[in-house]
Amino acid sequence: MSKLIIPRKTVYRLSLYYRALQRARANRVETVSSAALAKAAGVKPTQLRKDLTYFGQFGTRGLGYNVEQLSARLTDVLGTTRLQPVILVGAGNLGSALLKYPGFAKEGFEVAAAFDLNPSRGRAKELGVPVLPMTKLKDLVHEQLVKMAILTVPAHVAQEVANELIEAGIMAILNFAPIILQVPDHVVVNNVDVAIELENLSYFIQ
């Protein structure tokens, strides 16, 4: 499959381009120059042009990119043409805050359910999705063909829970726990680690 040869960083930037195109679209812009699109996405124009060469010929010299056409192609590549179901595991403070994030559906994702050691009806109502016990995980993942999970459990149980997710059929994990998960080769993990991001910033302001 040709998609496998696209570098991971490129895929990441495609999301940035896509989002910039959505803003252009909202402003009824029909074509954008590579310079304008690159600036809106926060990358260099040469980088943008290089990234888009992976997907064939886009844009006309001197005219720029057709917003509608490039959006459609990126959506297709990124696999968000249809709503993708995702589950969230660990409905504590951070998990609950994420569930209240209004942008999921807009970005092509639907939270099918949340899982927690202490599910309760009251919280399900507040959070707007079913909050289920871990014993229901496997069935739901199978029935709704869920492949992606957001992991917001405490660090000391994250590996154990990740193992359960993978056994249930999850193939992609967005991990908020501050540990490096050990996973089989067919599973992809992206990490979001607030403390590490801060540490990184602190280096640059010394």
Q: Where do contacts with a second copy occur on this chain (CB under 8 A)?
A: 3, 8, 11-12, 14-16, 18-20, 40-42, 77-80, 84, 86, 93-94, 96-98, 100-101, 103-104, 106-109, 147-148, 150, 171-174, 178, 180-181, 188, 190, 192, 194-206
User: Minimal distance in Å, beta carbon 61 to a second copy?
Assistant: 25
Q: Closer CB to a second copy, residue 31 or residue 80?
A: 80
Taking the complex as a whole, the smallest distance from the CB of residue 136 to a second copy amounts, in Å, to: 22
Is the CB of 107 or the CB of 164 nearer to a second copy? 107
We find the least distance from the C-beta atom of residue 77 to a second copy, in angstroms, to be: 7
Closest distance to a second copy from the beta carbon of 190 (Å): 5
Do 189 and 175 touch, CB atoms closer than 8 A? yes
CB closer to a second copy, 57 vs 206: 206
DSSP sequence for the chain: -GGGGS-HHHHHHHHHHHHHHHHHHHTT--EE-HHHHHHHHTS-HHHHHHHHGGG---SBTTTBEEHHHHHHHHHHHHT-SSPEEEEEE--SHHHHHHHT-THHHHTTEEEEEEE-SS--HHHHHHHTS-EE-GGGHHHHHHHTT--EEEE-S-HHHHHHHHHHHHHHT--EEEE-SSSPPP--TT-EEEE--HHHHHHHHHHHT-
Span between the terminal Cα atoms of the chain, in Å: 45
How far apart are the C-alpha atoms of 55 and 49, rounded to whole Å?
A: 11
Of 135 and 203, the one with the shorter C-beta distance to a second copy is 203
Q: CB-wise, 63 or 186, nearer to a second copy?
A: 186
At its nearest, how many Å lie between a second copy and the CB of residue 187? 9
- Closer CB to a second copy, 137 or 150, in the complex: 150
CA distance 43 to 13: 8
For residue 62, the minimal CB distance to a second copy (Å) is: 25
